[in-house]
Amino acid sequence: HVQLVESGGGSVQAGGSLRLSCEAPGYTHYSSYCMGWFRQAPGKEREGVARIATGSGNTYYADSVKGRFTISQDNAKNTLYLQMNALKPEDTAMYYCAADWRPGQYGRVLEPFEYNYWGQGTQVTVS
């Protein structure tokens, strides 16, 4: 059973920062996954924020967060992070961690249908 556990959400004022974490306990071959962060605001579709290839460290960001958000990982801990700076009210959403078995090289991979495993989500509210 593939499990993802997010944490780190909360409420912050505009311009502030938060760091989200996503633990993947028990993953084997963690370096062969594509790990992503997604968000979904009320009444809106789920959208990709950033993703990282756990083996190469290659990253991809949505235009809306480039320069403000940073995705990173600690492979020794099977943990994914999303550092969010200069937060805006429009960043308010439920944030989800997702994973997909994807060894090798690939491009964007930032659509929800491209991921098989999902966490339960953590709420981020920016006022």
Nearest Cα to Cα of residue 60 among 120, 114, 126, 121: 114
pLDDT of 1: 63
Other C-beta atoms closer than 10 Å to the C-beta of 54 total 23
The pLDDT value given to residue 76? 87
Task: Read off the tokens for 79.
Answer: 């943990």
Q: What are phi and psi of 35, to 5 degrees?
A: -115, 135
Q: Output the pLDDT for position 127.
A: 97
* Structural contact between residues 40 and 94, judged by C-beta atoms closer than 8 angstroms: yes
Closest CA to 17 of 98, 91, 121: 91
Local confidence pLDDT in tens for the 127 residues of the chain:
678 999 999 999 999 999 999 998 777 667 788 999 999 999 999 999 999 998 899 999 999 999 999 999 998 888 999 999 999 999 999 999 999 989 888 889 999 999 999 999 999 999 9
